[in-house]
Amino acid sequence: MIRYKVYQSKNKVSSSYGLWYARAVYDETVGLEKLAEHMANHNTPYSQGCIFGVLRDMVNCIKELVLDGKAVKLDNLAIFSASISTSGAASAKEFSITNCLRNVHLNARATGKLRTATLTSEATKKEVAEYTVNKTGKSAGDDTME
């Protein structure tokens, strides 16, 4: 179930000012250990510990392969790859990756059963509460997807 809160755009310089939107929220983050426990409860002969070990190693291997310039596809989940952001240089001759590299990012593009169209058509939705913003700019009482 996709939980959401409705909020009003307060950005006065945007054409969206005053319009109402929905923002997805979640109530829990499930880590690898909990995911392994969940998977072990789905009629598998493998223990939670075995599954956890495989998932932990998978994460490390995906990182290694992505940093080696490869894309890693997990069918019906995502294609993981790296991208970079750089600052500009006045000319190609002046460009140096050492001086211009700002960040390396991990991209995850949904594939198969987790593509956007599939999720949109299969998702059930539920409004959880009125959306309010506290002084820090984060929503009060929940974690929002960023």
Amino acid, res. 80: F
Q: Which of these, 26, 36, 33, 32, lies nearest to 3 by C-alpha position?
A: 26
Token digits for 112? 């198969």
pLDDT tens digit string along 68-99?
999 999 999 999 999 999 999 999 999 999 99
pLDDT tens digit string along 98-141?
999 999 999 999 999 999 999 999 999 888 876 666 656 555 44
Please list, in sequence order, all residues whose beta carbon lies within 8 angstroms of the beta carbon of residue 99, skipping any fewer than 6 positions away.
89
- What is the rounded distance in angstroms from the CA atom of residue 78 to the CA atom of residue 61? 15
pLDDT of 143 > 60? The answer is: no
Residue 131 burial by Cβ neighbours in a 10 Å radius (0-12, 13-18, 19+): buried
The answer to whether 87 touches 94, Cβ cutoff 8 Å, is no
Higher per-residue confidence, 21 vs 142: 21
pLDDT at 144: 43
Residue 30 burial by Cβ neighbours in a 10 Å radius (0-12, 13-18, 19+): exposed
The answer to whether 4 touches 145, Cβ cutoff 8 Å, is no
pLDDT at 68: 95
- What is the rounded distance in angstroms from the CA atom of residue 57 to the CA atom of residue 63? 10
Q: Hey, CA dihedral for 95, 96, 101, 106, is it positive or negative? A: positive
